[in-house]
Structure 1
């Protein structure tokens, strides 16, 4: 059996990563405004790094995806040759993997061939499929359970850009273990405000707030969380809640429910094991513990992905996924159901009358 070693992190690795970070640090206007899709943002980043002579020699780009490719002598279709290259093994470089992989078996193979390193970008959501987000139902289970993987589902090009920068910093400058995964869709978002430096940092932690509402107005309030393309349905539901029912919605983009849950679990374990020490918090708890209004978390995957954070939320919590409603097509999350479930949560809290829920079910033909 032929043996091979993993990549070695050296000072040259940090220098290569810094060169890539410097090249893409200043995003194009469409990234910051949120108008570019996550998919074309990452393709553009890969093209920039390959076409610039100053960074082309500092990055490994693998393109096994079905999107148009840039012609470059630096492009590869597999990471396996790197595993057998003495030069590659001697000093690791940032690895950007663009793929179209619909099953966990394919993703497992890709992570093995890249030594569980790099930024793995999957555009399967853009292709025809009978599964939600184009991914076999085992994929989100594999992503959530894989301790080497930190998965993200960015809603906009700005989020994808922020996550890519932070991943380069974490993996190759700081030398942390594991790999990052991004599910990429190709629809631009015209409702996401320009992302600030603080929001970019919080997006990498798993969630950040999109709007501010007047808490003194006395209107019923909910907090709506969304990830990836499902955030568009969440934003539409917020508009319906305001226009049809007089309910204000605090909107949160959650690029990674899994990271939020893992960090909250870690803090909870530490507090349990160190009862006499000051308690540790988590980004999830810091964001959502200041209020007691209901939380509705939406994902384009199955409901269990959003359910990961439920145990750490003190207020009434509702998770909604592509498999949550029996009458749905199981391909997307219906904004009408987000509205109905938000109203039901408010009714269960005694904030609005149960009759409002019944009216909404009839009005939106959900019965």
Structure 2
């Protein structure tokens, strides 16, 4: 599912249109292990109410350092679609929540560092393993609430997960805007997205991600722009960041590795 070079920015979006497809875009090997185990248990364990499904999992051939599984790993969050992966070193300053999936998670972590070091913003990083499962859960909660007003209202899993989070929310993946846009109704705050829309581009991974504005520096600038809109940072900071990172130059991109090319 490399959406950048191979003009596949939409396959997880299409997967969501089939109710029998459970789609995931994991970032790390330990996430993949829990997703596969959960899929086997669902399809063959005999206890799930809806076992008649198929799984679509986007994995990447881009070499990445794989972190060890945390001791307090949130297995439920991984299977349901989102879990918290990295807190900022300091909680001081304007707040941001970076929601990333797949190979975008390392770029979100890099953006977290840049936001802290260059602009004094405290960013929190979340790994969204499945945008579509979060959307389906949210839609199910909405339908339950309006069709059963006599019953206790349900809160979407994503809304509950993010309920204590402050600041702006940003969603990013290696795919179209429409993928992170899936969860928009259930994000409890101001939410912006980045995405690899348009036709495919033949270039390095780093240049392609810069071209589509989904790299770490684009995450930083988009976060600052939303904070500026809210009055939490000066608007001049946004242009300063654009100039500092040479944002409009694809050759200045850094979010990509060499090796593992198809």
Q: TM-score, normalised by structure 2?
A: 0.82
Counterpart contact for 1:222–1:249, Cα < 8 Å? yes
Counterpart contact for 2:12–2:179, Cα < 8 Å? yes
Cα distance in 2, alignment partners of residues 250 and 191 from structure 1: 19
Q: Within the alignment, does 1:169 sit opposite 2:41 as a pair?
A: yes
Counterpart contact for 1:296–1:342, Cα < 8 Å? yes
Cα distance in 2, alignment partners of residues 227 and 151 from structure 1: 12
C-alpha displacement of 1:238? 0.8
Partner secondary structure for residue 244 of structure 1: helix
Q: Tell me which of the two structures has the higher relative contact order, counting C-alpha pairs closer than 8 angstroms and 6 or more residues apart.
A: 2
Tell me what 2:107 maps to.
233
Tell me what 2:21 maps to.
149
Partner secondary structure for residue 347 of structure 1: helix
- Distance change in 2, residues 1:358/1:138 (3 Å): closer
C-alpha displacement of 1:268? 1.2
Number of equivalences: 238
Q: Write the mapping of 1:1-367 to structure 2, written as runs, cut at 5 A.
A: 124-125=1-2, 131-132=3-4, 134=6, 136-173=8-45, 174-175=47-48, 176-187=51-62, 189-190=64-65, 192-196=67-71, 198-213=73-88, 217-323=91-197, 329=208, 333-366=214-247
C-alpha displacement of 1:321? 1.2
Question: 187-196 vs 242-251, which deviates more?
Answer: 187-196
Counterpart contact for 2:224–2:237, Cα < 8 Å? yes
Partner secondary structure for residue 225 of structure 1: strand
Cα distance in 2, alignment partners of residues 339 and 191 from structure 1: 23
Cα distance in 1, alignment partners of residues 13 and 7 from structure 2: 11
- Distance change in 2, residues 1:136/1:213 (3 Å): closer
Question: 145-154 vs 184-193, which deviates more?
Answer: 184-193
Cα distance in 1, alignment partners of residues 63 and 32 from structure 2: 12
C-alpha displacement of 1:307? 0.4
Cα distance in 2, alignment partners of residues 147 and 250 from structure 1: 31
Counterpart contact for 1:158–1:195, Cα < 8 Å? no
Partner secondary structure for residue 252 of structure 1: strand
Cα distance in 2, alignment partners of residues 356 and 138 from structure 1: 33
Larger Rg computed on CA atoms: 1
Give structure 2 stretches of 5+ with no counterpart.
202-206, 249-262
Tell me the C-alpha RMSD between the 2 structures. 2.6
- Distance change in 2, residues 1:227/1:133 (3 Å): farther
- Distance change in 2, residues 1:218/1:184 (3 Å): closer
- Distance change in 2, residues 1:297/1:137 (3 Å): closer
Cα distance in 2, alignment partners of residues 353 and 338 from structure 1: 17
Partner secondary structure for residue 208 of structure 2: coil
Q: TM-score, normalised by structure 1?
A: 0.60
Cα distance in 2, alignment partners of residues 366 and 197 from structure 1: 37
Give structure 1 stretches of 5+ with no counterpart.
1-123, 126-130
